[in-house]
A and B are shown apart, each in its own frame.
Chain A
């Protein structure tokens, strides 16, 4: 196999450096996560138990989970198999919720 001849490739022949996280990015993401957590707590106190509270809090939590998966769990650098694996876990969670709801949403229905 021909040797890579660019200066960058010689310097980082296995492409390791591009997979290393930038500390500034990680710290920024961490700060955002803490901010979202505080926002979640704040919403709980400010809004009280309204119809919108839970969906809003779940939406914030989903953004947090997404950030953790993308940056801290390195999906950002993952190949197709890794991303497919992550998506499959979401699919499985979907199975859990959909079939749960098949029970909870129809339990009040009277047979016949």
Chain B
């Protein structure tokens, strides 16, 4: 149904006045190194994570650069075969365990979950700080293993190679990942308890922002799956150090057992990575299309659905590993199921965009990039879930392209969307609108050039993790490396303009995007305890059609298509129903 809302003047309360500049915010509340290292403020801990994972993203990116440069020539351009093995393992370990998994939950989850539900902090502030220290301890061990010579097993650490034959630094790397897993559990536990126990008055489950629902589902996976991989990695150490036969068949072990236990975590871990990104996208798409989310409950419950179904399909990674044919059939069928909640999200996002007042600021460009790349990544996943085609495509570059479309095209784009969306709130500064849009476009173009050729060479038989390949694949590898170079430039651009914004950026208003969430009711940057008074929530999280925030107050004028948010000075106009046709949904 579609109705036309006439401009009748504000029906809601007028927009709140710009909060007075707070003399003490979380950033200027102490400048010493100790005020950061011993902080229990969820916002500062979020910033600690942001700095840490940015370093690991850079390190993982350098390893990826070595891999791509080496593949410029069929016989390897720059490193030996052994060094190549260590480079792609370092890339996988760094990116997965120390960037993708903590990226959104530990940075934006820590920073924004309490603000979005109207709380002053997470439920366990000291546990939150402990999680960062545990994460850093694990990360330091993993980095040490890389610097001391690296690991050559691939990030999957399959035995018996990892336990019997590998001459690389498996144990410190494995212990590093094992330790960092506890950090993930702590963060998940903290977020889950906070959502259950600390919601503001009126913040019912049906009024939670979809980012909060996504983080809740993510926390569920973190809590239930991470212990399994932790014990599995510990068993690798036990077998490698003591020679106890657990996975090595020559001493009575079962290597398939490792793969079952590893993927019981590592496939749901894919959803630890992508679900928070999906939550970010729901926030950004609604804000920059000025529309209520289409199908709130469907999107919310699809997050939980993905978390649950994600546990049932791990063995599609093992179709050619020697598992039972009947089990393979079962897992193939179950793998198809996860397409349902994923598709629900995509259809609802698309319906949200339909007839919205879309503006293409940087967060929106990243979010749209997410949707397109995730669709491609998701659809190619169906090829791999299908038993017959997976036999052909298993361990080829098709798989590499598929999971990079989901993880990088999806999750990293979601991360950048969130970073650009919430940066003004986190830092109190606006970044360059033009440069940020350019970076988004460069990243999307670079991404396509990097990974589309990999689908082709993978389908035609180029295996992953091989440093050598037939000459006829060279042109595609050169294209891929060229794309990776563009992608690298695109990723470095935000480092420059976001850093510059800290010093030269215009001060951000409390609500520069005219968004509805509670986090935008705090000053930018937020005060130490977020809210002066506990907010009372009176409506849903995305009431853009009637132009009110979650406290029922009007919204400032949204930024227009040609409006540079960096030039806006706070509230510029009245709130009220927008003079446009709007879709009544749900």
Contact = CB atoms under 8 A, between A and B. Distances in A.
B195 to A, nearest CB: 12
B311 interface: yes
A92 B326 CA distance: 22
Nearest to B228: A96
Interface stretch (A17-25, A32-40, A62-70, A103-111): A103-111
Interface in B311-355: 311-312, 314-315, 323-327, 330-331
Contact of B323 (A95, A107, A111): A107
Given A81-B196, A89-B224, A100-B260, A95 B311 contact: yes
A92 B327 contact: no
Interface of B: 196, 224, 228, 256, 260, 264, 311-312, 314-315, 323-327, 330-331
A102 B312 contact: no
Contacts of B312: 95, 99
Contact of A109 (B256, B314, B315, B324): B324
- Of A88, A92, A103, most buried by chain B (CB within 10 Å of CB) is A103
Contacts of B196: 81
Contacts of B325: 106, 109, 111
Query: 9 closest Cβ contacts across the A-B interface?
Result: A103-B327, A107-B324, A106-B324, A106-B326, A102-B327, A103-B323, A92-B224, A103-B324, A111-B325
A68 to B, nearest CB: 15
Contacts of A104: 324
Contacts of A88: 224
A103 B264 CA distance: 13
B311 A103 contact: no
A99 B315 contact: yes
Interface of A: 81, 88-89, 92, 95-96, 99-100, 102-107, 109, 111
A106 B323 CA distance: 9
Contacts of B314: 99
Contacts of B224: 88-89, 92
Contacts of B264: 96
Contacts of A102: 324, 326-327, 330
A65 B396 CA distance: 43
A109 B326 contact: yes
A100 B311 CA distance: 12
A95 B330 CA distance: 13
A4 B326 CA distance: 63
A104 B311 CA distance: 18
A107 to B, nearest CB: 4
A103 B228 contact: no
Contact of A106 (B228, B260, B311, B327): B327
A88 to B, nearest CB: 8
B329 to A, nearest CB: 10
Nearest to A89: B224
A8 B560 CA distance: 63
Contacts of A81: 196
A21 B264 CA distance: 36
A99 B327 CA distance: 8
Nearest to A91: B224
A69 B326 CA distance: 36
A76 B217 CA distance: 26
A93 B463 CA distance: 34
Contacts of B331: 99
A103 B329 CA distance: 10
